[in-house]
Structure 1
Amino acid sequence: MRLSSTILSAAALAWATGVLAAQPATMRLDYIHSGNALSEQYAIDRVVVEPLPWPGDMTRTLDDTNRGVNMVEVVDAKTGKLLYSRGFSTVFGEWKSTEEAGKLTRAFGESVRFPQPAAPVKVRILKRDERNQFSVVWSVEVDPDALDVVRKQPPAPAKPIPLRVSGPSPRKVDLLIIGDGYTRAELGKFEKTAKRLAEHLFAVSPFKERAQDFNVWGLAVPTEESGISRPSTHTHHASPLNTRYDIFGSERYVLTTDNRALRDIAQYAPYEFIEILVNNDTYGGGGIYGQFSTAAADNDWANYLFVHEFGHHFAGLADEYYTSPVAYQAASGRPEPWEPNATADPVHPKWLRHVTSGTPLPTPWPKAEYEAHSREYQKIRAQLRKENRPEGEMSKLFKEDLAWTSALFARAPHAHAVGAFEGANYEATGYYRPAQQCLMFDRSDAFCAVCAEAIGQTIDLYSRTKEQK
């Protein structure tokens, strides 16, 4: 007798969420984060009890990775005991660094999730100060028994699909892949694509070696039209997550700024991390640490986009490239980045233990030759977009650029060394990356040792190994 996929899905969901382990409920605080380049404010929106139990390990409730622009802390209101913490970054934080933030004020919805406490707690949002240390910028008391807590949710708009179930959720990293811009007739396509991209993720080290530490779920609410909005080409589609291209004026930047829509859909599957697949072939994606990442599922470079953007979201990895145009304004001075793979100190980089004896710091590389080539490449790229040329022409340009860069780097004396290579974090000077070439630098297919270590540390925060059990 064959069980239906619905029954199998329900069984996998019940097992993986660890219902029998008496996990606490999942509580979510939705709030509004508003401001501009000079100031910011917070205001409570609502407190929600989500439909599924807390997916995380209750023995690893405190974050020791020291990553993110922000940190959430949940403390017992009576005793002050720290119950839960996690680092994260926000869409508001990125927008604040744009030119627009100097001209007007905007508001963004945000959320923090934590195990439901037994008594009132204070939820504190911290932010890094000028010393790169966290300090409290907002605090609000949350009573789990308050009358205005939302405890009943509407029926799930779609059923989660178990793409990879390695064990109970509290012992695993739960990755939720959400589709946006898929019609009902394309839901099978979404499931197939989500499986393929997840398989690729686990073919890339260090995810490859830690594949059994993950559960992967799929979820897609169907749309009336295929694809998401791309305003720069006058393409506008309604979609459940309101994901779109052209975020902050960057044609390739894909995000949703509709946090409530995202959380109200995601809450029906176990998750700690979210990757949104958009049903488009135009190159694009994005990633916010601790929030979500996105990738254009039908692009020729979807494999790279999926992994690169997930690197931002999952491990807080910085972009190491610096010749592509971005929406952000350059920071005054060169403060030390919190990201694990970028530094302003090339002589004593934070990854010094990975640098072998004899490697010069800073580390020479064919920077001038690379930049001369990149300037010409960027001109061609901009022209292709201006003329709205077929996506295949852009993919061909990317392939040629990667081949040229890889050939140049292969001849360099420190091609495979960990050092301090100038050019990172969108800046040509003053910031340094650990390796000459890495998946966070260009469209190559491997993480450097420093990025791999940072990914492993995040996996350790969420997944319990056999030895820990």
Structure 2
Amino acid sequence: MRTKAMLCVLACLAAVIPAPAAAADPAPDSASVRSEWREVFSPDGSIRRVLTTRRAEEPSAPRSALAAAEVIPIEVNGPSESRFDLVFVGDGYTSSQFSTYGQHVRSKLDEIMAIEPFRSHRAQFNVWQVNVPSAQSGVDNDPTQGVSRSTALDMGFWCAGIERLLCVNETKARQYAAQARDVDQVLALGNSTKYGGAGGGVATASGGNAQSGQVAIHELGHSVGKLADEYTYGQGDLYTGPEPRESNVSIYQRATMSQYKLKWYRWLGQSTPDGGVIDTFTGGYYHQRGIYRPSDNSIMRTLGRQFNLPGREAMIAAFYRETGLIDAGAPDASSSVLWVKPIRSAGTTTTTWRIDGRPAGTGDRLDLAAARLSGGSHTVTATVTARTPWVRDPALQKNALTDSRTWTITR
């Protein structure tokens, strides 16, 4: 597979409220405690970033000791080698509740695929459901603190003292997910209707809550598109650092960006799907000033919104980096006809052929007999190019939206 993507996810309160420790709990050893930044999401869509402290994850059983889990293909659009494989694992679902879990998986998938650019590029995804049986139904601390349940992935609310932060044993989640054919992203669903989720190497969300899927979309912006957060809460007032590497935040204002052709200069002044036009809006990257974002309010700032134009461009390029543009091709040059099967997504794809560097036609097939090759060795190349109005950067067009296959023919 190409570059693998992993993600994080969600949850929230109006304020960070520390969870009181049970009286019988011993004070945690400092070596078992870790600090990490977590995104906290409110039901109104607002996002903030807080530094949390929680006990380190307990070691899980060896992978060989895990029970085999049933893997159900939800949507298979092609070979995993040329697809983005999204794998759902569930926690707090007993064996008799797998039909409910399946409904939750499809609901979250529909929510993700309803937003662009996922909707137009759905053919580039495979989706798998891993049925992980739990001894008890539900997750810890739901509906209130102190509720404990025996589940396969140890999911629970009130993670790090934040009520709606829903954590999971990420090692176990990955191990179960690995029973699917391939894994590019793991999304863990908890058997709960309470709004919540959590960030980290595995995304979590409440399976039975209609809003929680928005968190997964936001986090896919991070893990797939490598997009920065565009909200201002988290690390102070004035940003004084260097130019960030993420494509959707910058220290440069519109005039400088336009003059020196920086970041999203190609999109300046264009109407954007999340509302308004692309410009340089003050604030983002967890700071109020000294940093700018492309639009007023995209999904990287507030849940329930769309990706802005630079964000959409980054996501589409990332899809193609992972999947390539060619599903399959002629296995060798023994036939008189060479062929490729392009992945069909939004926009158009064009296949061009060259023989020894010279143009030899277009289309998905090349008739070698018609080419009238002379004796000796020849190099034949098929190049597939995707075109979409949502990608303007020539470097992305060349590096991500172009793919090729090559054969050597001897006559």
For the criterion TM > 0.5, the same-fold answer is yes
Q: CA deviation at 1:195?
A: 1.7
Contact 1:174 1:215 in 2 (8 A): yes
Aligned to 2:315: 455
Q: CA deviation at 1:423?
A: 2.8
Aligned to 1:251: 163
Q: Equivalences for 1:25-104 in 2 at 5 Å?
A: 56=1, 60=2, 94=37
Report which structure shows greater RCO (CA 8 Å, sep ≥6): 2
Note if 1:208 corresponds to 2:151.
no
- Provide the secondary structure at the position in 2 that maps to 1:443: coil
Q: CA deviation at 1:266?
A: 1.5
Q: CA deviation at 1:415?
A: 4.6
Q: Equivalences for 1:297-446 in 2 at 5 Å?
A: 297-322=207-232, 330=236, 333-335=239-241, 336-347=243-254, 348=257, 350-356=263-269, 415-446=275-306
Aligned to 1:166: 77
Note if 1:286 corresponds to 2:229.
no
Aligned equivalents of 1:170, 1:280: Cα separation in 2: 34
| Alpha-carbon spacing, 1:229–1:174, altered in 2? closer, same or farther (3 Å) | same
Contact 1:296 1:305 in 2 (8 A): no
- Provide the secondary structure at the position in 1 that maps to 2:70: coil
Amino acid at match of 1:94: W
Amino acid at match of 1:438: S
Question: What percent of counterpart residues are identical?
Answer: 26
Q: CA deviation at 1:284?
A: 1.6
Q: Which runs of 5+ in 1 are unaligned?
A: 1-55, 69-90, 111-149, 360-409
CA deviations 1:295-314 (Å, max 9, x no partner) are: 22222313423322333333
Q: Which runs of 5+ in 2 are unaligned?
A: 9-33, 39-48, 326-341, 343-383, 385-402, 406-411
- Provide the secondary structure at the position in 2 that maps to 1:251: coil
Aligned to 2:346: none
With normalisation by structure 1, the TM-score equals 0.52
Corresponding residue pairs, total: 283
| Alpha-carbon spacing, 1:236–1:342, altered in 2? closer, same or farther (3 Å) | farther
With normalisation by structure 2, the TM-score equals 0.59
Aligned equivalents of 1:189, 1:307: Cα separation in 2: 22
Contact 2:91 2:191 in 1 (8 A): yes
| Alpha-carbon spacing, 1:254–1:163, altered in 2? closer, same or farther (3 Å) | same
CA deviations 1:371-391 (Å, max 9, x no partner) are: xxxxxxxxxxxxxxxxxxxxx
My pick for the range that moved more, 277-286 or 265-274, is 277-286
Higher radius of gyration, 1 or 2: 2
Aligned equivalents of 1:229, 1:155: Cα separation in 2: 21
- Provide the secondary structure at the position in 2 that maps to 1:419: coil
CA RMSD of aligned residues (A): 3.7
My pick for the range that moved more, 447-456 or 312-321, is 312-321
Larger helix fraction of residues: 1
Amino acid at match of 1:178: V
Aligned equivalents of 2:92, 2:250: Cα separation in 1: 38
Q: CA deviation at 1:435?
A: 1.0
| Alpha-carbon spacing, 1:346–1:225, altered in 2? closer, same or farther (3 Å) | farther
Q: CA deviation at 1:247?
A: 3.3
CA deviations 1:392-427 (Å, max 9, x no partner) are: xxxxxxxxxxxxxxxxxx9xxx95211121232333
| Alpha-carbon spacing, 1:311–1:229, altered in 2? closer, same or farther (3 Å) | farther
My pick for the range that moved more, 305-314 or 178-187, is 305-314
| Alpha-carbon spacing, 1:442–1:190, altered in 2? closer, same or farther (3 Å) | same
Q: CA deviation at 1:226?
A: 2.3
Q: Equivalences for 1:120-159 in 2 at 5 Å?
A: 153-154=64-65, 156-159=67-70
| Alpha-carbon spacing, 1:159–1:235, altered in 2? closer, same or farther (3 Å) | same
Aligned to 2:106: 195
Aligned equivalents of 1:223, 1:106: Cα separation in 2: 23
| Alpha-carbon spacing, 1:334–1:222, altered in 2? closer, same or farther (3 Å) | farther
Aligned to 1:295: 205
